[in-house]
């Protein structure tokens, strides 16, 4: 009897853990969309994580004769990053035309090499491939929500949801314990074609230099995760309030 009760509780906790994960999966694209509207805070991060200093150090050593990028202004870089964000959300259109102006001769220089353009188009393709996954997750979540409200299912207590959230967080920490850079590289190996370059030395890439990769992506991921967690909490709290009022 005790064993059956314990198994029943474990099964219920597992279901709510899946629901919490599903809710988080729904909030991830919402947070991504919101952050894309402000260019993932590139303007703020440009100053706070030392992108300017990074550009001053590596841009003069570019091996593709893309000179004087270190003389561009912050406004120029913010505009270029905005162009990248717009392009990767629009099938990569416009990447080839992104350029900056050399101060010494007012010559327009193409920002990216062919390999960089191909990589950023791969990013755009990846975002497109993820759209059906997001749509399916949203449909399943909406059906789950409808069932919960239809059956007036009592949600777990805040304490239990917090415990479940810590379980998910522990899984994330376990994955990152292998090393953030190692995880970052492995995800790129899985996500992009084998014959397409995705790793670029700073001296070979104004893309990596301008973005101070992978440092910028780490900060963006943290902010993205925090926003998604906040949205998840707001959704769960709202569900609690609506269910209480509907009884």
Gyration radius from the chain CA atoms: 22
pLDDT in tens, 85-134: 999 999 999 999 999 999 999 999 999 999 999 999 999 999 999 999 99
Q: What is the pLDDT of residue 105?
A: 94
Collect all residues with Cβ–Cβ distance below 8 Å to 4 and sequence separation of at least 6.
none
Residue extents of the structural domains in the chain: 2-246
SS3 119: helix
Q: Which helix (H) or strand (E) holds 56?
A: helix 51-58
User: Given this model, what pLDDT does residue 142 score?
Assistant: 93
Could you report the per-residue pLDDT of 141-193, keeping only the tens digit for each?
A: 999 988 888 878 877 777 777 777 777 777 777 766 666 677 777 888 888 99
Burial-class residue 190 by CB neighbours within 10 Å (0-12, 13-18, 19+).
Answer: exposed
**Sign of the C-alpha dihedral computed for residues 182, 183, 189 and 192 taken in this order:** negative
What number of other Cβ atoms are within 10 A of residue 151's Cβ? 8
């Amino acid at each position: 009897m005790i064993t059956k009760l314990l198994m029943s509780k474990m099964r219920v906790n597992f279901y709510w853990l899946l629901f919490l994960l599903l809710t988080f999966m729904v909030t991830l694209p919402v947070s991504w969309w919101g952050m894309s509207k402000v260019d993932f805070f590139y303007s703020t991060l440009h100053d706070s994580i030392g992108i300017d200093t990074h550009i001053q150090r590596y841009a003069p050593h570019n091996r593709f004769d893309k000179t004087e990028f270190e003389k561009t202004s912050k406004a120029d870089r913010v505009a270029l990053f905005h162009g990248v964000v717009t392009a990767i959300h629009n099938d990569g259109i416009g990447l080839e035309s992104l350029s900056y102006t050399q101060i010494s001769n007012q010559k327009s220089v193409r920002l990216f090499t062919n390999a960089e353009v191909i990589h950023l188009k791969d990013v755009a393709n990846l975002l497109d491939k993820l759209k059906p996954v997001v749509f399916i997750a949203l449909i399943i979540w909406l059906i789950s929500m409808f069932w919960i409200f239809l059956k007036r299912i009592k949600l777990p207590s805040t304490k239990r949801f917090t415990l479940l959230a810590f379980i998910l967080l522990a899984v994330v920490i376990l994955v990152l314990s292998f090393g953030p850079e190692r995880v970052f590289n492995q995800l790129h190996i899985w996500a992009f074609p084998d014959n397409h370059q995705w790793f670029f030395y700073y001296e070979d890439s104004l893309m990596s230099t301008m973005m101070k990769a992978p440092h910028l992506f780490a900060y963006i991921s943290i902010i993205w995760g925090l926003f998604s967690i906040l949205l998840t909490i707001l959704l769960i709290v709202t569900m609690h309030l609506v269910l209480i009022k509907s009884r």
